[in-house]
Amino acid sequence: MADQAKKLPWDPWKNYDISQRELKAIRERAKMRDAMKAEWQKKVTDPYRGSHDGGHIFDPAVQRFMSMRATNFDHFKVTPKTTWFGFLYIVLPVGLLTYISTKDKEENEAKLRSGQVPYKDRLWKFMY
C-alpha cells in the first residue's frame, strides 16, 4: 500500500503553477495564521482570564459577524432575483398548501353533509 503512494504520477502537495513569490507569500500567511492561532489558544487557556477584562475575549471577526446579522435587513435591496426567490419559496408554497387543504376540507364536508359517507366509516368522527 505504501509503495502505491510513492508511485503517484504527481504530488498533490506541490504546486507547479505558482511562482516563487506567490509561494513565499502563502508561507508567510501560514506563519501569521499559526501565530494568531497560538495567541488565541494562549488567551483562551489563561486561568486568570476572569480576573481582568471581565472574562471576555474580544474577537473582531465574531463582532463583525454578529453586527452583520443584526443589521442584515438594513442592507437588504429588493431586486428581481430576491422578489422571485420570496415568491417561489415563501408565497407559492403557503398559497398552494392553503388551497389544497381548503379544497380537501370542502370536498370532505360536502360528502359528509350529503350522507355519502356513513357515520361509522367517517374518519375524525369526533371532530366533525
**What is this structure's pTM?**
0.46
Whole-Å CA distances, 27 to 15, 30, 33, 40, 86: 13, 5, 10, 20, 44
Tell me what the mean pLDDT of segment 31-36 comes to.
Answer: 96
Tell me what the mean pLDDT of segment 47-73 comes to.
Answer: 82
Q: Is 57 strand, coil or helix?
A: coil
Whether 6 shows a pLDDT value over 70: the answer reads no
| Residue from 81, 82, 60 nearest 73 by CA | 82
- What percentage of the chain exceeds 70 in pLDDT? 85
Q: Are 96 and 104 in contact (CB under 8 A)?
A: no
Number of Cβ within a 10 Å radius of residue 34: 10
Please report the pLDDT score of residue 46 as a whole number: 83
CA distance 98 to 106: 12
Whether 1 shows a pLDDT value over 60: the answer reads no
Whether 83 shows a pLDDT value over 80: the answer reads yes
pLDDT in tens, 93-111: 999 999 999 999 999 889 9
